[in-house]
Amino acid sequence: MNLRVIVYIFSLFGISLMIFTHTSRYYGFDVSIWQLILLIGLAWILDLFSFILEKLGENKIKLTGGMIVNLIVALNSKPAAAFLVGFISSILPSGGRYEALKEVFNASQISIAASLSSLLAMNIPIDNHSPYFILKVIIVALFYVGLNSMTMFGLFVTLDVSKLRKFMSNMIPVIFLGAIPAGLTSALGVFMFNYMGYYSLPIVGGIFALIRLMHFYRSKYIEAKLESLIAMVKALEEKDKYTRGHSERTAKYAELLGKKLGYKGNHLEMLRLAALLHDIGKIGIPDAILNKPRILTKEEYDQIKKHPVKGAEIIKPFSYLSKIVPWIRYHHEAWDGSGYPDGLKGNDIPEEARIIAIADVYDALTSRRSYRLEYDEE
């Protein structure tokens, strides 16, 4: 790890200690040691079961039980208590390899966000029993997630400035999409806390567990739908021994090209998936046309040319695949504008669609067809 990162992390740690010293001196504590232990324990346990709600490029929107507890404490207690719950629950071991510097960064980042969010909540003139209370929760949640994002912003600057643009392009959606689910869950938690006190905390844990279970089954449902789409493509290719495995090979080549261009994480996975599904629009085209061993007539070729549009239409209803719809639609466009379906040219064609086009053509040329032998891979 480079020196700039180490300096940044310990600077953040120093700022967090200054905030704790100031807030504890001027605002004091309003929780007992046993209440503090209970809150820290709950935050730590729920953090073990955190999960990713959504991915935006290289950024991940994560719902953490610890964040919900931190917001509940921030909205009900003084800044010093919020600091201690956030800091101690974050620095405790959470399974896997314990990296001290990383844990110091996480603990500093979270404790700063928790304590300053508590300070903000104290200065918002909306009572916890007010009908406008939910507005207060959302404001505090946005502030909390925004502070976390800003400290991550600083880390990106010290790590690799070249990644900053990607991070910034997704920063606003990350803040809003990260704050809303946590804010709503926290609002429910605070509402119960107001009437039930600390007896409500196990219920908050149960609600978080239920949300996680629902997300798990949603993920399984998405996986099943995705597998059915891939199975449709494979079934289509099985009808012709010459195109068998074409989509899988295209996906492999597209992934290799993506890596060369610096694609990573979810972006690379979505590129691979789009390449795997690029010919799904050929479903519905008669086998006699798809498997014809001779040159196609103009009418037959016109039918083939519709498959990128049909493919995009098949994928479009799947919201989690919305990013790859244009990549599939435009994978037969040409740089000079002579391609189809929309005659796009140059940089108007998405880069991912161009990658899929190259991978598609490469596999077609290096595979045997009924009307010609394969080209040498070199």
For residue 61, the domain's CATH number is: 1.10.1760.20
For residue 294, the domain's CATH number is: 1.10.3210.10
pLDDT at 242: 55
Residue 266 lies in a domain: yes
Summarize the confidence of residues 26-48 as an average pLDDT.
Answer: 88
Residue 224 lies in a domain: no
Residue 191 lies in a domain: yes
Last residue of a domain, one of 219, 252, 287: 219
pLDDT at 204: 76
Q: Which of 282, 292, 305, 310 is catalytic?
A: 282
- pTM of the entire predicted model: 0.61
User: Does position 371 have pLDDT exceeding 50, yes or no?
Assistant: no
**Domain match, 22 and 55 both:** yes
**Domain match, 119 and 87 both:** yes
**Domain match, 208 and 277 both:** no
pLDDT at 85: 94
Q: Could you identify the residue written with the tokens 């789409």? A: 229
Domain count, the chain: 2
Summarize the confidence of residues 53-59 as an average pLDDT.
Answer: 54
**Domain match, 186 and 272 both:** no
**Domain match, 192 and 271 both:** no
pLDDT at 161: 59
User: Does position 244 have pLDDT exceeding 50, yes or no?
Assistant: yes
Summarize the confidence of residues 54-73 as an average pLDDT.
Answer: 70
Structure tokens that stand for 257 in this block: 């090209």
**Domain match, 36 and 118 both:** yes
pLDDT at 16: 94
Residue 319 lies in a domain: yes
More confident residue, 316 or 200: 316
Residue 129 lies in a domain: yes
Domain containing residue 300: 239-365
**Domain match, 92 and 146 both:** yes
**Residue 139: which of 125, 158, 150 has the closest Cα?**
125
How far is the C-alpha of 205 from the C-alpha of 286, rounded, in Å?
A: 55
Last residue of a domain, one of 219, 251, 276: 219
Last residue of a domain, one of 156, 189, 219: 219
User: Does position 141 have pLDDT exceeding 50, yes or no?
Assistant: yes
pLDDT at 212: 74
**Domain match, 255 and 213 both:** no
Residue 194 lies in a domain: yes
**Domain match, 163 and 255 both:** no
**Domain match, 306 and 174 both:** no
| pLDDT band at residue 372 using 50, 70 and 90 as cut-offs | very low
User: Does position 54 have pLDDT exceeding 70, yes or no?
Assistant: no
Residue 260 bears catalytic tag: no
**Domain match, 211 and 292 both:** no
pLDDT at 168: 59
